[in-house]
Amino acid sequence: MSHNSFGHLFRITTWGESHGPAIGCVIDGCPPRIPLSEAEIQVHMDRRRPGQSRYTTQRRETDQVRILSGVFAPDEGEQLLTTGTPISLLIENVDARSKDYSEISQAYRPGHADFTYQAKYGIRDWRGSGRASARETASRVAAGAIARKVVPGLIVRGALVQVGPYPIDRTRWDWNEVDQNPFFCPDPEMARQWADYLDNVRKQGSSVGAVIEVIAYNVPPGLGAPVYGKLDQDIAGAMMSINAVKGVEIGAGFGAASLTGEENADEIRIGPEGVPEFQTNNAGGILGGISTGQPLIARFAVKPTSSILTPRRSINQAGEEIDVSTKGRHDPCVGIRAVPVGEAMMALVVADHHLRHRAQIGG
């Protein structure tokens, strides 16, 4: 399987399968002398970790991350610093129950990657969906935690803004609410409604899709290359690379199609400190593929989890028509745990573009 690496100058390579002994990643190109501890990576791992509420898979993974290389404390007992050499991260799989998946070893779940992996490679690790499992995204979150530290002042935040047919009320948006409910929801009222809705979905053995919004603050103007290395192009590719993602928007996104030119163009004035100040941010912080200095705004839609209890029509490896229903432990809405993953992908893109900008233009 080729193409397991992402990024140019801040480049990650992830490895491992859902039910193998461990997963992990190697980060190549991280600048030296950045303070880094396992604990600060773990904060982000704990937000993505499964089994934290009844609305996510009950698989009990601790997702403890270990730094195997690329850091050193020049003074004994002092803070570890990155050395500029490859950083290798390891996350052990401690709660894999492969027998839950034996029924799908020969069957193709509709909506999952069983059919395409078999068609492409002629072999697939069906245990926990192997490399097609979102377990791989734990490595992205670990790498993203380091990427956040590469860009001075960078803050990346994510929120769930729609579950099934229910969007949040954006007038109630409160970032402080995001860590107060099991959904990363910035609207406390909608979080309560989602709880009842998802309880029902889960009891029926069904699943639903969702929309996630990710915002990067303190991104300086100038990141991005204007033709084939557009910042928005790379953010879209990054988000689309997450499992189950079916659509990505930047700024006003698809909504821009129904705006007039007057409504859409972000007007500019000189702010109190003499710096250009945009009056709105329909562009999502990017013009001509280059960051404006406004927050970067991306949204992505995830489809409903394909592993559901309701029988669906499919075929098996012998070419017979069968019905498939999936047992095992699955997320009724993968959008919840996709929030920290989206944040990580945004951080990885910004860190990579920060280094690419520095390489071409200077510090």
Q: Does 330 bind ligand FMN (CB under 6 A)?
A: yes
Q: Please, what sign has the CA dihedral across residues 110, 116, 121, 127?
A: negative
Q: Which is nearer to ligand FMN, 299 or 330 (CB)?
A: 330
What is the footprint of ligand FMN within residues 38-57 (CB under 6 A)?
Answer: 57
Residue 139 contacts ligand FMN per CB under 6 A: no
Q: Least distance from C-beta 339 to ligand FMN, angstroms?
A: 9
> Closer CB to ligand FMN, residue 239 or residue 351?
239
- CA 115 to chain CA mean position, Å: 24
CB of 40 to ligand FMN, least distance (A): 21
Return the residue of 61, 331, 343, 352 that touches ligand FMN, per CB under 6 A.
331
Of positions 243, 291, 294, 314, contacts ligand FMN by CB under 6 A = 243
Q: What single-letter amino acid sits at 31?
A: P
25 contacts 15 by C-beta, under 8 angstroms: yes
Give the residue with the Cβ less far from ligand FMN, 198 or 242: 242
Per-residue binding string, ligand FMN, 64-103, x by CB under 6 A, is ----------------------------------------
CA distance 302 to 336: 10
Give CA separation, 12 vs 19, 26, 147, 300, 309, in Å: 21, 6, 10, 22, 35
135 SS3 class: helix
Interface size with ligand FMN, residues (CB under 6 A): 20
Residue 240's alpha-carbon distances to 2, 117, 300, in angstroms, are 17, 18, 8
Does residue 159 contact residue 336 with C-beta atoms inside 8 Å?
no
Q: Does 26 bind ligand FMN (CB under 6 A)?
A: no
Place of tokens 């590719």: 237
Candidates 202, 216, 243; CA nearest to 337 is 243
How many Å apart are CA 66 and CA 83, to the nearest integer?
A: 16
Structure tokens at 3: 């193409």
What is d(CA 52, CA 184) in angstroms, rounded to the nearest whole number? Answer: 12
Of 128-136, 165-173, 266-274, 344-352, the window that binds ligand FMN (rule: CB under 6 A) is: 128-136
Question: Site residues for ligand FMN, window 293-322 (CB under 6 A)?
Answer: 303, 305-307
Looking at the Cβ atoms of 33 and 60, the one nearer to ligand FMN is 60
Residues that bind ligand FMN (CB under 6 A): 57, 112-113, 132-134, 137, 242-244, 303, 305-307, 330-331, 334, 337-338, 341
